[in-house]
Amino acid sequence: MADLQRLHTYLLKSRFVRFLMVGVFTTSLDFMIFYLLHFPAGLEIIPANIISYGTGITAGFFVNRAWTFHDAMHRSHKRILLSLFYGYLGLALNTAIVWYLSFIMEVMLAKTAAVLIIVIYNYLTNKYLVFRVYK
């Protein structure tokens, strides 16, 4: 039992695991909004993806700032600008990938593939550029 509790504590202290947990939440939010905008509402792929992914970027920034990278809180105005810059660059990359892959596979599968590609970009830019701890 003690080993299980230690593993649980370690995982919750791991930045990468916390980042992944936030990512699961924001990706779920992104997929839900995209699906609703694209299928029932009939919005085209690009605007639906911009709105849904943009919502995920915004939610992800605030949750990552408060929980994942809480120890790197100073210089918050600079972090907001960096987060927006890299987030919207990721949005452009994600949208381009979804759009391109939607020609060769079902759109929700294309969106899934884009997420798998962009998750590494998002973690690295957040860890090393947005929430970097300055010493």
Predicted pLDDT of residue 135: 62
Q: Who wins on pLDDT, 75 or 6?
A: 6
Q: Who wins on pLDDT, 74 or 3?
A: 3
Tokens 């839900």, located at residue: 32
Q: What's the distance, Cα to Cα, between the start and end of the chain in Å?
A: 38
* Residue 30: Cβ within 10 Å count: 24
Mean pLDDT for all residues in the chain = 87
Encode pLDDT of 69-119 as tens digits. Answer: 776 555 567 777 888 899 889 999 999 999 999 999 999 999 999 999 998
Q: How far is CA 81 from the centre of its chain?
A: 16
**Average pLDDT score over residue span 26-32:** 96
Predicted pLDDT of residue 97: 97
Rounded percentage of the chain residues whose pLDDT exceeds 90: 49
Q: How confident is the model at residue 8 (pLDDT cuts 50, 70, 90)?
A: confident
Look at residue 66 and tell me whether its pLDDT is greater than 60: yes
Question: Is the distance from CB of 112 to CB of 97 less than 8 angstroms?
Answer: no
Q: Which two tokens stand for residue 77?
A: 């105005």
Q: Cα–Cα distance between 84 and 57 in angstroms, integer?
A: 8
**Average pLDDT score over residue span 111-135:** 85
Predicted pLDDT of residue 95: 97
